[in-house]
Structure 1
Amino acid sequence: MKQTEEDLELDLDVDADLDDDSEIDIDLDDDDSDPKRGGILQSTSKRVRMIFSVMASPNRIDILRILNSKGPLTYSELKSLAGFKSKKESGKFAYHLRKLLRQSLVALNKSERRYTITNLGKLVLSLARQIEERSIIESGKMYVRTSSESIEEFNSHKIIQSLVREGSLPLELAQKITEEVENRIYKYQTTYLTGALIREMVNSVLLEHGHEEYRNKLARLGLPVYDVQEMISNLDDVDNGAEGLLFNTGQKVFAEHLLTNVLPKDVADSHLSGDLHISNPGVWSMIPDTIFVNIKELIEDGVDLGGKYLDVSRIPASKQLDEITSSLSVVIALLSKEASQEIVLDGFVALFTKHSKSLPELEQKLTDAFATASTTSKYNKTSTNVSIRLQLGTDTKIIHSIINAYKNYVAITPIPKIGLIIDADKGKVSDVSQAVAEILSIGGKVMFAKGQTSSYGITNGSTKASGPLSITLQSVSINLPRLAFESNKDETYFRARLALLMKPALASMALRKKEISDLTRRGLNPILAKNTQYMQRSSVSLVVNLVGLKEAVFNILGFQDNKEGRDILHKVIETAVDVGAKKGKELGDTVAISMTETEGSGRFATLDGEKYGKNSSLNSMDADFYSQGIVINASEVSDYTNKSEPISECNKLSKLLNGGLLVTLDIDKDAKVEDIKKSIEKASELTPAFKPTRHTAICGECGFKDEQFDDKCPKCKSPYVV
């Protein structure tokens, strides 16, 4: 007749009351019959042997460990946790538990029907652990899963070597820390020993001993398991496949490295607190923000990739139209990997001057080249922009072919990465305004500017009209409203705080320039290094961006938006420019001040809202970000003259800011092509540089954008509107 689990448990209750003499598993070779021994000694020896016989079973040690960590437990709970899950194993489990009960290592609370470990059981468990630790130490058979994807035998000397090599610890201290870590490893009895876990223990011991500076050198950079899982689960923000996930993950690691190990602590703290904002910290030390490059020189000379990009077809010096356009798409894609924000291509019209007799072919091949080149790198939320600079007044036919090719490209690309920069210094905007208006109506990107200027309004900082290569580093923005809050409405103190904050910010930018130069020289950016004689011929300017100037002066310092208030606003810019010039001379670098777009604007507003109250900084404005540059309403521009207040102020700021000012011409989403054309022509008469922007609805499901829509896509009926 088979016993049920309840019957077995009942048997255990009865057996638990039996005398120890009922134990029959006694060593037959015992010598307790020696008449010289006393009764007490004989009984104690027998008791110890019985306890050791209990310890001989791994199952019984497991039961003690479970009760020690999770008890008191019912019979069923204990049986399940101990791994005896089938009915066939019930008798075996009851046998082991009976042994433990008889030796008083486990006790049963009969009223609650729960089992607990006794003090004697805890002592036995501790002894078993010590024996295991000692045997592991002497046998050396503990294995570590390393970060290099291998399993190796645990070796404490490797910890010592790591402490000395990575953390620069003195050998004696490294040995002392390692000994304590080793003891903890054996004490915790972890079943999954990894290199990361050992490093955690090392860092914990270092902190306990007050060695924070060593711990910072040895810290492991990376993402928590939860964050990685969240990235995989939320793929709506990833629009370029697995590459997007890998980019995001890698940048988080390098951003953490930048803030903990590269930047001076005061600069890192200023970024984290919201006094400063560093854009694209994941690639901050690796690649510049904006590159101005003469594409004609690059393609006609042939691109030398050296030993890099061995899987990319080599690009010889190009002469024929087919060769030039195919080389163009490859060069754009490769150059985009070497800038985080924008590539500005000069010499574009001159590149195609010899091919003016085959304009239809040129237009088609350029459209194809743009489409191929649009698979540029994505180091931030938006891809690296590519801007083609066209100087009006040169070869009109080539310019129109380029513009038409660009329009064709925009029509087939929901969000174009390539844009146009129209330089009307020697020509008339009216020559291209119709085509540009059509391009803007379907979501194209166009900037109007004189001289070498990026689509963000950043100037190249070079005194030359058109150098072979110019680079700007413009990743640092200053939170002016935060400085104003902390200046107690004292305008002089506000400017003094601005000057103090700029000095470490510029010193960190000079450090960034050196880091990028070193990495480029060593081959990280092969096009910059091998094809543009980066170190010899390029000019590099450090640009500091001012955010929230209007909010700081008018909303927080309390000045009125009148002549007196604007004079203060100008004085703030002059202070920044003067400090930049002095610090630049000290560093041996060109320093410029700009007011342009940055994702830091929204971050600043959010942080200040949390710290001071939302409406305190934005003054009950609807926007969730601070002012960036100047915004002109396209519907009002026809009423303006050069002396109109918004225009005169805009032109005054343009002269003061030596790093560039972004002037946005805000076009209504319902504006017709003819309205856009008129607004562009009028704005070009009033200000030297401006960027027309018009919000275009794009279906996030199918990419449709052929017409304006609000609620849902007219093609696929999706409500997901970008």
Structure 2
Amino acid sequence: MELDEELEEPKRSGILQSTSKRVRMIFSVMASPNRIDILRILNSKGPLTYSELKSLAGFKSKKESGKFAYHLRKLLRQSLVALNKSERRYTITNLGKLVLSLARQIEERSIIESGKMYVRTSHESIEEFSSHKIIQSLVREGSLPLELAQKITEEVENRIYKYQTTYLTGALIREMVNSVLLEHGHEEYRNKLARLGLPVYDVQEMLTNLDNVDNGAEGLLFNTGQKVFAEHLLTNVLPKDVADSHLSGDMHISNPGIWSMIPDTIFVNVKELIEDGVILGGKYLDVSRITSSKSIDDITSSLSIIISLLSKEASQEIVLDGLIPLFTKYSKNIPELEQKLTDAFATASTTSKYNRKSTNVSIRLQLGSDLKIVNAIINAYKNYTKITPIPKIGLIVDFDKGKVTDVSEALAEIISIGGKVMFAKGEVSSYGITNGTTKNSGPLAITLQSVSINLPRLAFESNKDETYFRARLALLMKPALSSMALRKKDISDLTRRGLNPILAKNTQYMQRSSVSLIVNLVGLKESVFNILGFQDNKEGRDILNKVIETAVDVATKKGKELGDTVAISMIETEGSSRFANLDGEKYGKNSALNSMDSDSYSQGIVLNASEIGDYTSKTEIISECNKLSKLLNGGLLVRLDIDQNATQADIKKSIEKAAELTSSFKPVKKVALCGECGFKDEPFVDKCPKCKSSYVI
């Protein structure tokens, strides 16, 4: 036995010597940073041709060709790299991967021994750097295959060690990850992993320029949050063609920061909500619970709370109905009702807002009902308007079954001091949006209307061909409506999960029958008369009507396909001036605006209050107004522009006349307001009579 062991000893010694020599050779290969780089490149990007590998390894000049060949030959001899002779491509071998892994571990250990690396995370903590967390994030957030995640992580880790960053943050690591993903052609994965937020400069600018923030730190936070969610909408939620259409100016998405979270307009039967009580569940635990209200004190308190809460669940407007029968039933003391309502309006106005412009709250008054209650609400609103520089609450006067003359004097006074009043027959918002739900299963109905189409842009690109213009409109509407249907689903899902508590407790309101999708048309007149070249005569107006009919037809067909109520409107939108600016840059400043007095495209119909006294039902603009009102099933905003110097008597006459001629209109009178102290008690031009400030809004 001992003899056998002695005979085996020289063999074992020879094997060990051979192995030791092999290991030494491999370590000598590892001693060169160039060879380690070649292994890393092949591991992450291989197989590669000779020229590809040479270029990526940084040996770009002819003088360096010999050096590169030398390093590659060393790797081939030690079987760390293999050549596929048929494809003439080099790959890293399993042994090469093992050596590379060992090199990385040695490198990592040496750094750790010299001082650990720590990461400042977005979770407000400092943690020791771990490559495994990068892999986990890639798989969890980006849905990368594990093998690809490991490859990307290895390359990122190498860069971190290479750059020897002194202040390592989670944001910096994510930037590196996304850079590597783009280099490898994984743009879709990069989009999933992109960090949404603001550059440092933009944040500093927001803190420096606070003129656009009129509701304190809350407004600053809302603005910041909306920018983040707007970016998320355009990069990760909307189909790419729809996002590009918005960015290019073919269409406009209003309020993109909250577009997929809350609806635009909510029509509310507040009588049912107040009498039945509003169930908030586990939300708004710091808000008093609204039980069934029967006394005038409880009703006005509940009204104030409902206005405040519902204003957070709509981006543009809340239309409150049912107040007249509610107060008729429970209120006997009219002066008390006026005072309680004034207080309720004032309290509700303190609610937060998502934009510089508050969510409108409109009280719908049906003329022909209890006139004492109607007048009490109007007087309360007048008191509220006097003490509020820019009222967020307004009135919608439904004169379908009553006479405007019964309330015109009081309403004229309200309009003269900056109050918001809309006149309409039927359920219409102050923006002109029609409540088009086919079946209202409860006290709430919803419209989604934040998509506008740039008709002048389509006209510019139609080579003055009216048929082609309408065909392009039809093509653009289809993806727009599909995105609206997607928006409805997103809002519905978030609502059911509790984002909008009042809607969440009434999930039937997000069902098909009580949600309308509305697409808004902007710049119709410029398209037909200025760009397509038609005259403003009967033939031209027939073309104008055909455009609307095309849009309505496409909307109806798409609505049946989607299973939704879909309609077309022409109302005001901030997208109008954006469209005009973008088209001015693209086609020339005077291209479509050459016959306009403003820097925005036409929106709805504008009537001049100083001229309306001479109008009849056959006057051209009135005929056009009534024709369009019938065609546009989503709503038409008819604005009655009142001169700044008009008296209350003038205003009274103009609104009475407009009510005779049209089914809906919105009086608009500019009222001077001091931007420094909010004074508006008397007319002024250049300087505030109270604080002497020249900052006039």
Range class of TM-score, shorter chain: 0.7 to 0.9
Q: Deviations over 1:495-543 (max 9, x none)?
A: 0000000000000000000000001111111101214743459600000
2:334 alignment partner in structure 1: 359
Structure-2 residue corresponding to 1:315:
290
From 498, 515, 528, the equivalent of 1:523 is 498
1:273 aligns with one of 227, 248, 251: 248
Cα distance per residue 1:25-48 (max 9 Å; x no partner): xxxxxxxxxxxxxxxxxxxxxxxx
**Is contact 1:468–1:538 with CA below 8 Å preserved after alignment?**
no
1:207 and 2:186 aligned: no
**Structure 1 residues 356 and 326: alpha-carbon distance in aligned structure 2, compared to 1, 3 A threshold:** closer
Shift of 1:420: 0.1
In structure 1, what is the Cα distance between the partners aligned to 2:512 and 2:463?
Answer: 47
Q: Distance in 2 between matches of 1:353 and 1:466?
A: 24
Q: 2:535 aligns with which of 560, 582, 585?
A: 560
Report the CA distance between 1:169 and its aligned residue: 1.2
State the distance in 2 between where 1:219 and 1:176 align: 19
Q: CA offsets, 1:259-315, max 9 Å, x none?
A: 000000000000000000000000011100000010000001011110000011111
Offset, 1:209 = 1.2
Change in 2 beyond 3 A, CA 1:140/1:216: farther
Instruction: Summarize the Cα distance change of 1:548–1:535 in structure 2 as closer, same or farther, 3 Å threshold.
Output: closer
Q: Using the alignment, how far apart are the partners of 1:164 and 1:627 within structure 2?
A: 50
Whole-angstrom distance in 2 between the partners of 1:378 and 1:250? 13
SS of residue paired to 1:597? coil
Say which of 129, 133, 148 aligns to 1:158.
133
AA in 1 matched with 2:194? A
Name the CA shift for 1:656/1:417 in 2 (closer, same or farther; >3 Å): same
1:406 to 381, 386, 395: 381
Check whether the contact 1:291–1:344 (CA below 8 A) recurs between aligned residues. yes
2:526 aligned residue? 551
Does the residue aligned with 2:607 lie in a helix, a strand or coil? strand
Matched, 1:595 2:609: no
Q: 1:468 deviation in Å?
A: 2.4
2:193 alignment partner in structure 1: 218
Following superposition, the deviation at residue 316 of structure 1 comes to: 1.2
Write the distance in 2 (CA, Å) between the matches of 1:599 and 1:467. 32
Once the 2 structures are TM-superposed, how far is the Cα of residue 383 of structure 1 from its aligned partner?
0.3
Aligned pairs (5 A) from 1:310-459: 310-459=285-434
Percentage of identical aligned residues: 87
Q: CA deviation at 1:133?
A: 6.1
Q: How far is the alpha carbon of 1:140 from its aligned partner?
A: 7.7
Q: Does 1:192 align with 2:167?
A: yes
Q: Read off the aligned partner of 1:370 and give its amino acid letter.
A: F
1:581-592 matches, within 5 Å, as 581-592=556-567
Cα distance change, pair 465–171 in 1 and its aligned pair in 2 (3 A): closer
Equivalent residues in 2 for 1:25-40 (5 A)? none
Match of 1:642 in 2: 617
- Render the CA deviation track for 1:392-428: whole Å, top value 9, x for unaligned: 0100000000000000000000000000000011110
Q: In the alignment, is the contact (CA less than 8 A) between 2:496 and 2:507 conserved in 1?
A: no
Deviation digits for residues 133-165 of structure 1, max 9, x if unmatched?
A: 652156782100000000000000011111111
Tell me the TM-score normalised to structure 1 length.
0.81
Q: Give the match's secondary structure for 1:187.
A: helix
Matching of residues 23-172 of structure 1 within 5 Å: 135-137=110-112, 141-172=116-147
SS in 2 for 1:615: coil
Question: Residue 534 of structure 1: SS of its match in structure 2?
Answer: helix
Instruction: Find the aligned partners of 1:412 and 1:538 in 2 and give their Cα distance.
Output: 40
SS in 1 for 2:689: coil
Q: Deviations over 1:8-39 (max 9, x none)?
A: xxxxxxxxxxxxxxxxxxxxxxxxxxxxxxxx
Pair 1:580-2:555 in alignment: yes
Q: Which residue of 2 aligns with 1:668?
A: 643
Which amino acid is 1:604 matched to?
Answer: F
Question: Could you tell me how far apart the structure 2 residues matched to 1:134 and 1:355 are?
Answer: 79
User: How do 1:487-506 residues align onto structure 2 when only pairs under 5 Å count?
Assistant: 487-506=462-481
Q: Which residue of 1 aligns with 2:450?
A: 475
What is the match of residue 75 of structure 2? Answer: none
SS at match of 2:652: helix
The residue matched to 2:621 in structure 1 has which SS? helix
Pair member with larger Rg: 1
Equivalent pair of 1:146/1:195 in contact (CA under 8 Å): yes
1:103-160 Cα deviation digits (max 9, x unpaired): xxxxxxxxxxxxxxxxxxxxxxxxxxx9986521567821000000000000000111
TM-score calculated relative to the size of structure 2:
0.84
Verify the 8 A CA contact 2:155 2:180 in the aligned structure 1.
Answer: yes
Matched, 1:681 2:656: yes
SS class of match (1:618): coil
Structure 1 stretches lacking a partner, 5+ long = 1-129
The one-character-per-residue Cα deviations of 1:540-572 (angstroms, maximum 9, x if unpaired) are 000000000000000000000000000000000
SS of equivalent to 2:482: helix
Give the direction of change, closer, same or farther, for the CA distance of 1:466–1:454 in structure 2 (3 Å limit).
Answer: farther
AA partner of residue 699 (structure 1): C
Which whole-Å CA distance do the structure 2 matches of 1:707 and 1:329 have between them? Answer: 29
The one of 230, 234, 255 aligned to 2:230: 255
- Distance change in 2, residues 1:532/1:221 (3 Å): closer
Code of the residue aligned with 1:447 in structure 2: it is: M
Q: CA RMSD in A?
A: 1.6
Taking the aligned partners of 2:247 and 2:283, their CA distance within structure 1 comes to: 36
Q: Measure the CA separation in 1 of the matches of 2:115 and 2:191.
A: 30
Does the 8 A contact of 2:438 with 2:514 survive in 1?
no
Structure 2, unaligned stretches of length 5 or more? 1-104
Give the whole-Å Cα distance in 1 for the aligned partners of 2:255 and 2:468: 31
The answer (yes or no) to whether the contact 1:377–1:384 under 8 Å persists in 2 is no
Whether the aligned pair in 1 keeps the contact of 2:296 and 2:331 (CA below 8 Å) is no
Is this contact kept in 1: 2:438–2:513, CA < 8 A? no
Displacement of 1:351 in angstroms is 1.2
2:592 is paired with a residue whose SS is helix
Quote the offset at 1:191 in angstroms.
1.2
Deviations 1:162-220 (A, max 9, x none): 11111111111111111110011011111110000000000111111111111111100
On the 8 A contact 1:376/1:383 being kept in 2, the answer is no
How far apart in 1 are the matches of 2:197 and 2:306? 33
Instruction: Give the equivalent residue in structure 2 for 1:622.
Output: 597
Q: Which residue of 2 aligns with 1:697?
A: 672
One-letter code of the match for 1:136? Answer: I
Report the CA distance between 1:356 and its aligned residue.
4.4
Kept in 1: contact 2:368–2:403 (CA 8 A): yes
Give the secondary-structure state (helix, strand or coil) at the position aligned to 1:558. Answer: coil
Matched, 1:486 2:461: yes
Number of paired residues? 594
CA contact (8 A) 1:519 1:525 kept: yes
Task: Write the deviation string for residues 77-118 of structure 1: whole angstroms up to 9, x where unpaired.
Answer: xxxxxxxxxxxxxxxxxxxxxxxxxxxxxxxxxxxxxxxxxx
Contact 1:469 1:537 (8 Å CA) reproduced: no
Q: Is the 8 A contact 2:513 2:565 kept in 1?
A: no
Matched, 1:177 2:152: yes
